[in-house]
Structure 1
């Protein structure tokens, strides 16, 4: 990919988008185009069409999305389905109309069936039923993936879809009402430590197994595919290893230095029993994740303390 390419990073303020901006800036890409939601509403077709008509974009990195954890997905399925479908259809079609040849669409490992063979290969998509607690989000992401494939087939575009496993890292969402499991655990463990709470309650039994990828590794994988001129297909992005939620909670407690007891609330939903991605497709091309989980969580906790805790202290002061 030409270092002078004009690259639009959709969703640059989010965890994935901000990681993409860091990665590209660090490797000499300077013509990055960003827009805040107030400047460009990606659910508004007219605004999106006007933007692409005027902006002369060469590459689109479609990281904008409505995202959240089990609670948010279960209580707002209409919002998750509508907003994600609107963003995807507007951006992908407007990019095609503006002759943008290259686009990277970011999905999620939750697109795969609930009871999928492990590790999960890309071809297992739509082989059986989805996990009900997040099927609205999954269906929207599957639609975006299929849209990219369809535009490649019909219009000769080069639109690639990346399916990352559970992400974490700087600029994550720590809102207890809408965050994913790892940032939720970081916040809960930190608050329990500050409060000297004797116990910390974790949703579910602790038995489900999950895989976690630092968002900077996802950004590195994206640059790798762009620089190797990969122009089509679906690629899992992960580390190829998982651990139980219990083991994750113990790891977070150790890093945060919370010394109380972990209590698992089995009345809360576990979600999918296991989600471990088969990452051999990217590995065969020469890319593997490089950030160790404990190191990544430790750095993420430092970022949490530096930003979230500082904001909290300012608001309380």
Structure 2
């Protein structure tokens, strides 16, 4: 409980959830740095930080993230900045003798038309979804770096690939957010405007899986407290639903009574992204928060933080 744990990206949705759950479990020696204090894209700054702090455990929850629009508009930033962040963290951890490194990625590392549900073995078997290819390639490089460290140096480094995440401290900025928080904000604002129609991207037919961020935090701590036999694990619920069903659920929770209009001229993205989570289940971890409860908790947080919720400026 007194091992020094560095959470990279501790102020983001994922990093803050990991810190919150760690502290609730009694961990006390947790460190973090804001992006103003430490630019993770800068190798010299990262190396100096690791030399000074010498963490025992590193959890990499830092990344440049966004939805379809942001990924498609800024592919260079999504590729380069994520490569810089993870390369600096992994190499500094290796050079300073970090005992355990937990790398957090995304289900978008898997091919667009990989067999469903997505197994870890599908990695690099086919082409990626074009709209988030840059981000996916960066994350695949991180997975392979972790695998190489394990193979060459015998270190307890592991990659966790979560499905679509949502929850407390989510990003509700409509130009860069993911589908679930964007829907919460759209339905809420439409309700306040007199239940006006809500316009949503795509056909509504793609299937998606969603994981409450505290469940990912629990998975990260499970990886922290155990020596996992492999280098790559999917983290999800193993359950999915159509985007139309998601919209109906959010609409009901928010209390919007108006029409939903689907704009099929906008991209749908990957037709299905369901994770095979049998490897994590076999080790003893599984999710606890069901989707409806998680959306309600997220909406409650949104209502309490509308004046200061996270806005990502591109």
Fold similarity call, TM over 0.5: yes
Identify the residue that residue 75 of structure 2 maps to in structure 1.
Answer: 77
User: How far does the alpha carbon of each residue in 1:243-300 deviate from its partner, in whole angstroms, 9 at most, with x for none?
Assistant: 0000000000000000101111000000000000000000011111010100100010
TM-score, normalised relative to structure 2: 0.97
Deviations 1:218-265 (A, max 9, x none): 001111122122264101000000000000000000000001011110
- Which of 158, 174, 177 is the matching residue for 1:176? 174
Q: What is the aligned partner in structure 2 of residue 315 from structure 1?
A: none
* Residue matched to 2:312: none
Aligned length, in residue pairs: 309
Which residue in the other structure is 1:154 paired with? 152
What's the secondary structure of 1:221's corresponding residue? helix
Structure 1: gaps spanning 5 or more residues: 313-317
**Which range is displaced more, 193-202 or 82-91?**
193-202
Q: Is the 8 A contact 2:150 2:231 kept in 1?
A: no
Which secondary structure state, in structure 2, belongs to the residue aligned with residue 96 of structure 1?
helix
Match of 2:277 in 1: 279
* TM-score normalised to structure 1 length: 0.96
Query: How far does the alpha carbon of each residue in 1:50-99 deviate from its partner, in whole angstroms, 9 at most, with x for none?
Result: 00011020000000000000000000000000100000111100110001
Which of 198, 208, 211 aligns to 2:209? It is 211
Cα separation, 2, equivalents of 1:288 and 1:232: 17
Match of 1:241 in 2: 239
- Structure 1 match to 2:23: 25
Q: Which residue number in structure 2 is paired with residue 255 of structure 1? A: 253
Q: Is the 8 A contact 2:99 2:156 kept in 1?
A: yes
* Cα distance in 1, alignment partners of residues 41 and 107 from structure 2: 23
Corresponding residue of 1:267:
265
Aligned equivalents of 2:55 and 2:23: distance in 1?
Answer: 17
Matched-pair contact (CA < 8 Å) for 1:8–1:57:
yes
User: 1:59, 1:100 within 8 Å by CA — same for their partners in 2?
Assistant: yes
- CA change 1:231–1:117 in 2 (3 A) is closer
- 2 CA distance for matches of 1:222 and 1:60? 11
2-side partners of 1:198 and 1:49: how far apart?
A: 52
Q: Distance in 2 between matches of 1:231 and 1:10?
A: 24
1:225 aligns with 2:223: yes
> How far apart, in 1, do the equivalents of 2:284 and 2:91 lie?
31
Query: Where does the alignment leave 5 or more consecutive residues of structure 2 unmatched?
Result: 310-314
